[in-house]
A and B are shown apart, each in its own frame.
Chain A
Amino acid sequence: MAGYRGATAIVGSGQTPFYKRGTSPDAEVKLCLRAIVAACEDAGVEPADVDGFVSFGSDHNDGQRLMLGLGTKELRFGALSWTHGGGSAGAVGLASAAIVSGQADVVVVYRAMAENRSGRLRVAVAMDDLAAQYMVNGVAAPITRCGLITNRMLEARGVPRSTMTAMVRAAYYHARNNPNAYGRDADFDEDIYERSRMIAEPNRVYDCSRENDHASALLMVSAERARDLVDRPAYVLSAPTGTDLAWGGRNELNDRSDSFAGFAAVSRRLWAESGYRPGDVDVAQVYENTSGLGVGAMLDLGFCAPEAAGDFFRFENLIAPSGGLPVNTSGGNLAEGFIHGLSLVNEAMRQIRGDSPNQLPGASLSLVTGGPGDAVASAALLGTEETL
Chain B
Amino acid sequence: VSYLPEERIRGGIGADEQYWEYLGAKEFRLSRCADCLAWLWPAHWRCRHCGSWEIGWEPVEPVGRVYAWTRTWYVFDQSKGRAGDIPYVTVLAEIPAADGARVLGVLAGGDEGLAIGAPVRGQCVDASPKSLDYPSLTWTLVK
Contacts and interface: CB of A to CB of B under 8 A. Distances in A.
A253 B11 contact: no
Contacts of B117: 156
A148 B73 contact: no
Interface in B59-100: 67-74, 76-79, 82, 87-88, 90, 92
B106 A132 contact: no
A132 B72 contact: no
A72 interface: no
A208 to B, nearest CB: 10
Interface in B100-139: 102, 104-106, 115-117, 130-132, 134, 136
B70 A131 contact: no
Contact of A252 (B9, B13, B16, B68): B68
Question: Which residue, of A137, A148, A155, A200, has the highest number of chain B Cβ atoms within 10 A?
Answer: A137
B46 interface: no
A151 B68 contact: yes
A227 interface: no
A148 B68 contact: yes
A203 to B, nearest CB: 8
Nearest to B115: A155
B67 A131 contact: no
Contacts of A120: 77
A253 B104 CA distance: 8
A136 interface: yes
Given A120-B77, A201-B70, A132 B92 contact: no
Contacts of A102: none
Interface string A370-383: 00000000000000
A149 interface: yes
B3 interface: no
Interface in A128-164: 128-141, 143-144, 147-149, 151-152, 155-156
A131 B9 contact: yes
A200 B132 CA distance: 19
A254 B102 CA distance: 7
A140 B83 CA distance: 12
B102 A126 contact: no
B41 interface: yes
Given A137-B106, A149-B68, A253-B104, A200 B11 contact: no
A197 interface: yes
B143 interface: no
Interface residues of B, number: 41
B42 interface: yes
A201 B106 contact: no
B132 to A, nearest CB: 6
Contacts of B13: 131
Nearest to A133: B104
A130 B82 contact: no
Given A131-B11, A148-B92, A253-B42, A140 B79 contact: yes
Contacts of A148: 68-70, 90, 92
Nearest to A157: B116
Contacts of A201: 70-73
A200 B70 contact: yes
A144 B90 contact: yes
A123 interface: yes
B56 to A, nearest CB: 19
A268 interface: no
A131 B16 CA distance: 10
Contacts of A198: 71, 73-74, 87
B20 interface: yes
Contact of A135 (B42, B78, B87): B78
Interface string B1-39: 000000011111100100010000000000000000000
A86 B57 CA distance: 32
Contacts of B77: 120, 122-123, 126, 140-141
A136 B11 CA distance: 12
A343 B3 CA distance: 45
A202 to B, nearest CB: 8
Given A133-B12, A136-B9, A250-B42, A152 B67 contact: yes
B102 A253 contact: yes
Interface in A226-262: 245, 249-250, 252-254
B67 to A, nearest CB: 7
A144 B106 CA distance: 13
B14 to A, nearest CB: 9
A127 interface: yes
B41 A254 contact: yes
6 contacts: A120-B77, A132-B11, A144-B72, A149-B68, A151-B68, A249-B44
Given A127-B10, A200-B72, 11 more contacts: A120-B77, A122-B77, A131-B42, A132-B16, A141-B79, A144-B76, A151-B116, A198-B71, A200-B74, A252-B68, A252-B92
